[in-house]
Amino acid sequence: MATVTEQLATAPPPGERRRRARPRPARRRRVDRVHYLFLLPVLVLFTLCITLPAVMGIFFSFTDSVGFGEFNFVGFTNYAVMFSDPAILSSYGFTFLVALTTVVLVNIIALTLALGLTSKIKGKTALRTIFVLPMMVSGIIIAFVFQFIFNNTVPAAAEALGVGPLQESILSDPSLAWIAIVLVTAFQYTPQAILIYIAGLMTIPRDVYEASSIDGATPWQQFRSITLPLVSGYVLINVILGFKDFLSTYEVVVGLTDGGPGTSTVSVTMSIFRGFQKGDYAYQMANSTIFFLITLVIVLIQLRVTRGRTQF
């Protein structure tokens, strides 16, 4: 056994001990300049195609421009008129109603189907292929197909079965047409949500379910206590992505109702494009700016709420 004298003789001096106790911070790794060179074309294209047009649009929202020629500055006049325009307010109400309803419907259907497609069933690979096929079809084509179904197939089947309320197309009813838009939008976007949920469900170890089965947990208890908490991050991702996409819905509305009956299904994006066609350029640029800010605030709130809660 070493004596105290021997231990002191072999111990490093105090200065050396302090140097060993304080490891030097790692030197920051230099980024090769060639990486910035590869990034430059993307930044230029993004600036020219997205940032610059957006800044110009905000600028023209404070004018009376019709899209060309001379213009005069009118300050916040376009914004003041917009907040008192019944058509604009109606389009915002319709857009948020469709977005909120669709995001709930899509996530319920997608999570249910994903649970089935990741369970021990035969032919699940083929079923996965079938369920994601709507992603390959354009939204406007899907809308035209469902327009024929709602206007012809459903009323004919309802008449044959004696179902009175469905003998008239719901697309011609101002109070029901939005439901058709929700259903078709959900049909179009559900495959994307299914793929995200399948990826999340496949990360859950099967041992967890086997252990819970030994403890006597029912399928509902497993879903509530194991599956849902572990895929909560994927639920939040689907909600954020879906709500953002549904706010800008356009193709489905054009293909199904074209804003009708009357103006009951005119979305914000449709009102903006129609305004451009009528020469209300500056007015609709104000509308676009407000819509962009609302969407940005919603996304920031969602990211703030979900920060630290996503699990992958």
Which domain CATH number covers 169?
Answer: 1.10.3720.10
The answer to whether residue 98 is domain-embedded is yes
Pairwise pLDDT comparison (312 vs 232), residue with the higher score: 232
pTM (two decimals): 0.80
Structural domain contains residue 36: no
Inter-residue contact 265 to 94 (CB < 8 Å): yes
Does residue 247 form part of some domain? yes
Identify the CA nearest to 99 among candidates 233, 245, 238.
245
DSSP reduced 3-state for 203: coil
The answer to whether residue 61 scores a pLDDT higher than 80 is yes
- Which tens digit of pLDDT belongs to each residue from 126-152? 888 888 888 888 888 999 999 999 999
Domain assignment of residue 13, yes or no: no
Share of the chain above pLDDT 70, in %: 88
Residue 190 phi, psi (nearest 5) = -60, -40
| 252 in any annotated domain | yes
pLDDT tens string 166-221: 788 889 888 889 999 999 999 999 999 999 999 888 888 888 888 888 888 888 88
- Flag whether 39 is in a domain: no
The domain tally of the chain equals 1
- Would you say residue 31 lies in a domain? no
Residue 265, in any domain of the structure: yes
Range of the domain at 260: 80-306
Amino acid at position 79, single letter: Y
